[in-house]
Amino acid sequence: MAKHWADFQYEIYLNGMTGAVPRLPTDLTRLEELAELRLAPGPVGYVAGSAGDGSTARANRAALARHRIVPRMLRDVGERDLSTEVLGRSLPAPLALAPVGVLQIMHPDAERAAARAAAAQGVPYILSSASSTPMEQVAEAMGDAERWFQLYWGKDREVTRSFLGRAKAAGFSVLVVTLDTQLLAWRPRDLDQAYLPFVHGVGTANYFTDPAFRAGLARPVEEDPNAAVLHFLGLFGDPGKSWPDLAFLREHWDGPIVLKGVLHPDDARLAADAGMDGVVVSNHGGRQVAGSVAAADALPRVAAAVGDRLTVLFDSGVRTGDDVFKALALGARAVLLGRPYVYGLGLDGQAGVEHVIRCLLAEFDLTLALSGHTRPGSVSATALAPDPTD
């Protein structure tokens, strides 16, 4: 019998014969409440928090919940294959870990632990520019496992050029350029606690170790760390960028480029016109524009506009296996997972991240099978009940 992601449930039940139960919940929507109880208020507030009153983060969940799956019967789902081709790479499942910076606020092993967990499960790891560990050290922890680099496309061209060179040399294969964080949004939960990881020197490691960044400082980081933090805050985002600037990135990166944070079909078309390879339909987990369209509501429109020209990926609000299924049905090729793996890291290090990946994919595998499908590619809009808001 072929091995399936769903087999994880029997592993759990068999371990139960020795009295063992999972250390973390298997319903991943419960991780946040556990993290709120167990982790320090500043860090957990930063991760769980959103822009404004949190309406976009809630809308992300509500939009996914509004869609309902219509299972089909007697379709021989005994043998299933979750592997998916994304940007020329064969992935074991339609999943990657989203770029999340500052992971040291969650666990001392930070990005290395998350990256090792991704590598152990064969899932691509997308390393944030704002990681608390220099990219070369994360790459070393991963061996030759699949890794992508997320760029904060800031004001200093030399730093961008240097990041691209370092990422390529360290074996990162896909460039994910985040467009929705040119400025840090209004985040009341962090403001009320006056807590921002960067001010504590977390999330600046790629910058502080970068020769081009260091060249822009009046005094070395080690002599004046506060000035270095201010310099970072001044340059990590650039609200002055516009579409023609993408030519610079296309010129300096010869692998696939994916734009993250696209919500409007016209922006997706502009991405295709600019020679990009993909988009991530995302509202940054509701952390940037309060009152924004839910990512799952934007997804079918973007997929209809560019699905034949670009690889369409999705994040923001994915918590369960059925969310993954719905995202595929709405037009995504694969999804990125954000906060759940970060809570897994905070609560149980690398093992916690692996638990989260395995639960999500076991539940997705079961949803797929029980709905009458054997592979991600066969899931389309016809697998969903008509949208009551249409």
Interface ranges with ligand COI (CB under 6 A): 101, 130, 181, 184, 236, 284, 287
Q: Which is catalytic among the residues 4, 231, 284, 355?
A: 284
Q: How far apart are CA 138 and CA 111, in angstroms?
A: 7
> Which of 4, 33, 40 is closest to 375 using CA atoms?
4
Report yes or no: 199 and 230 within 8 Å, Cβ to Cβ: no
Binding partner of residue 260 among ligand COI, ligand FMN, none, CB cut-off 5 to 8 Å per kind: ligand FMN
What is the SS3 assignment for the chain? CCCCHHHHHHHHHHHHHHCCCCCCCCCHHHHHHHHHHHCCHHHHHHHHCCCCCCHHHHHHHHHHHHCCECCCCCCCCCCCCCCEEECCEEECCCEEECCCCCHHHCCCCHHHHHHHHHHHHCCCEEECCCCCCCHHHHHHHHCCCCEEEEEECCCCHHHHHHHHHHHHHCCCCEEEEECCCCCCCCCHHHHHHCCCHHHHCCCCHHHHCCHHHHHCCCCCCCCCHHHHHHHHHHHCCCCCCCHHHHHHHHHHCCCCEEEEEECCHHHHHHHHHCCCCEEEECCHHHCCCCCCCCHHHHHHHHHHHHCCCCEEEECCCCCCHHHHHHHHHCCCCEEEECHHHHHHHHHHHHHHHHHHHHHHHHHHHHHHHHCCCCCHHHCCHHHECCCCCC
| Bridge partner list, 147 | 125
Is 200 assigned to a binding site?
no
184 interacts with, out of ligand COI, ligand FMN, none, CB within 5 to 8 A per kind: ligand COI
Residue 315 assigned to a binding site: yes
Q: How far is the CB of 204 from ligand FMN (least distance, A)?
A: 12
Separation between Cα atoms, residue 191 and residue 257, nearest integer Å: 33
Residue nearest to ligand FMN (CB): 338
Residue 302 in marked binding region: no
Work out whether 101 is an interface residue with ligand FMN (CB under 6 A).
Answer: yes
Which one of 5-13, 32-40, 93-101, 116-124 is the stretch in contact with ligand FMN (CB under 6 A)?
Answer: 93-101
Cα(first)–Cα(last) distance of the chain, in Å? 43
For ligand FMN, how many residues bind (rule: CB under 6 A)?
24
Interacting stretch for ligand FMN, rule CB under 6 A, among 5-13, 98-106, 230-238, 370-378? 98-106
Minimum CB separation from ligand COI for residue 182, in Å? 10
To the query of whether residue 284 is one of the catalytic residues in this protein, the response is yes
Site mask for ligand FMN (CB under 6 A), range 53-82, x = bound: -------x----------------------
The piece of 28-36, 82-90, 111-119, 309-317 that touches ligand FMN (CB under 6 A) is: 309-317
The nearer residue to ligand FMN, 228 or 296, going by C-beta atoms, is: 296
210 is in an annotated binding site: no
The nearest distance, CB 173 to ligand FMN, in angstroms, is 17
Stretch that binds ligand FMN, among 79-87, 247-255, 284-292, 345-353 (CB under 6 A): 284-292
- With CB under 5 to 8 Å by kind, the binding choice for 282 among ligand FMN, ligand COI, none is ligand FMN
150 lies in the binding site for ligand FMN (CB under 6 A): yes
Q: How far is the CB of 387 from ligand COI (least distance, A)?
A: 29
**Comparison of 114 and 369: residue with beta carbon closer to ligand FMN:** 114
Residue 291 Cβ vs ligand FMN, minimum distance, rounded to whole Å? 16
Does position 260 bind ligand FMN by CB under 6 A?
Answer: yes
Q: How far apart are CA 315 and CA 328, in angstroms?
A: 11
Q: Which two tokens stand for residue 231?
A: 């310099």
- Residue 284 binding ligand FMN, by CB under 6 A: yes
**Residue 309 annotated as binding site:** no
Q: Does 187 bind ligand FMN (CB under 6 A)?
A: no
The smaller minimum CB distance to ligand FMN, of residues 77 and 100, is found at 100
Active site residues: 284
Which stretches of the chain bind ligand FMN, using CB under 6 A?
A: 46-47, 60, 98-101, 128, 130, 150, 178, 260, 282, 284-285, 287, 315-318, 337-339, 342
